[in-house]
């Protein structure tokens, strides 16, 4: 039987009892009833380590830590490092939002949030748990090999988890464009998923290099929190197949891979 939203277990971290009740009602509308509620980061860490929920939903600011610090603790613990995380916050500081996206989150929803966006994020959480093989015309998914390029180990783990949810198990990893090129010289890959901002050689430089090399046939998907429109335009001109925010979900990644590999 396919996994349904009502099967998801959720850990809700919210110090406000009023906000907790509201979120519990919204989750109930989505048929999700298996929800544990914590008001502090330390309580959440203990609960997550013991029960390992399918999804953690947290506000940005708690009494004992913020969501960035909470995520760092979660990602450093082998028992909790791969847990799905969603932020619900009115925070507008781009630096803080970028920091939390770098840690690998399914969604960053504003307060108040659109319930349709919540539904999309919940479905993304379900998809990361239940492997749903992509249908790719004339391509054997078991033979696909991807190259993940990102200077953040946590971000690479997040992309790897999304690929695994799509049924893709064979991957190589590089911390920047230069390392990616060295891997390409010795290994055969079918697609590249790259970050934009990296030391030594960033995503745009990597895309430009590949476009003018023997690897010009490789589809490149770029996952980035970059906001500068001129930089993003330059990336598109470099031949990148698709651009995504770091909160990309399995369904969107799946569609992009299908389009890139069947083009």
Contacts of 149 (CB under 8 A, 6+ apart): 173, 174, 175, 176, 177, 179, 180, 192, 193, 194, 195, 198, 203, 206
71: which 2 tokens? 């995520």
Give the pTM.
Answer: 0.70
Residue 229's pLDDT is 67
Residue 137's pLDDT is 54
Our CA dihedral for 163, 169, 170, 173, rounded to 10 degrees, sits at 50
261: which 2 tokens? 């590999």
Residue 58's pLDDT is 96
Residue 34's pLDDT is 94
Is-contact 115 26, C-beta < 8 A?
Answer: yes
Is-contact 76 82, C-beta < 8 A?
Answer: no
Residue 2's pLDDT is 65
Residue 228's pLDDT is 67
DSSP letters spanning the chain: ----GGG-EEEEE-S-HHHHHHHHHHHHHTT--EEEEESSHHHHHHHHHHH--SEEEE-SB-SS-BHHHHHHHHHHSTTTTT-EEEEEE----HHHHHHHHHT--SEEEESS--HHHHHHHHHHHHHHHS------TT--GGG-EEEEE-S-HHHHHHHHHHHHHTT--EEEEESSHHHHHHHHHHS--SEEEE-SS-SSS-HHHHHHHHHTSTTTTS-EEEE-----HHHHHHHHHTT-SEEE-TT--HHHHHHHHHHHHT-
200: which 2 tokens? 């030594």
Q: Which domains does the chain have, with CATH numbers?
A: 5-129 (3.40.50.2300), 141-261 (3.40.50.2300)
Residue 15's pLDDT is 96
Residue 95's pLDDT is 82
Residue 47's pLDDT is 96
CA distance 250 to 84: 12
Q: In the chain, which stretches have pLDDT less than 50?
A: 133-134
Residue 1's pLDDT is 57
Residues β-bridged to residue 13: 38, 58
| Tens of pLDDT, residues 136-169 | 555 677 889 999 999 988 889 888 988 887 888 8
């Amino acid at each position: 039987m396919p996994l349904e939203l009502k099967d998801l277990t959720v850990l809700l971290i919210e110090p406000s009892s009023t906000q907790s009740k509201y979120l519990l009602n919204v989750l109930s509308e989505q048929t999700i009833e298996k929800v544990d509620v914590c008001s502090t980061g330390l309580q959440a860490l203990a609960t997550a380590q013991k029960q390992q929920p399918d999804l953690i939903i947290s506000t940005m600011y708690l009494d004992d830590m913020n969501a960035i610090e909470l995520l760092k603790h979660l990602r450093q613990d082998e028992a909790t490092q791969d847990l799905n995380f969603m932020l619900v916050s009115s925070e507008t500081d781009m630096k803080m939002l970028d920091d939390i996206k770098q840690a690998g989150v399914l969604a960053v929803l504003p307060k108040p949030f659109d319930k349709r966006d919540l539904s999309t994020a919940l479905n993304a959480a379900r998809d990361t748990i239940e492997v749903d093989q992509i249908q790719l015309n004339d391509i054997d998914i078991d033979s696909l090999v991807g190259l993940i390029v990102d200077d953040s180990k946590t971000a690479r783990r997040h992309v790897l988890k999304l690929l695994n949810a799509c049924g893709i198990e064979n991957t190589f990893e590089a911390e920047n464009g230069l390392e990616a090129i060295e891997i390409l010289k010795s290994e055969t890959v079918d697609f590249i998923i790259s970050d934009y901002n990296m030391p030594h050689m960033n995503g745009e430089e990597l895309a430009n290099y590949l476009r003018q090399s023997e690897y010009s046939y490789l589809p490149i998907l770029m996952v980035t929190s970059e906001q500068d429109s001129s930089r993003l335009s330059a990336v598109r001109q470099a031949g990148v197949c698709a651009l995504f925010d770091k909160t990309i979900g399995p369904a969107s990644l799946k569609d992009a891979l299908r389009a890139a590999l069947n083009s």
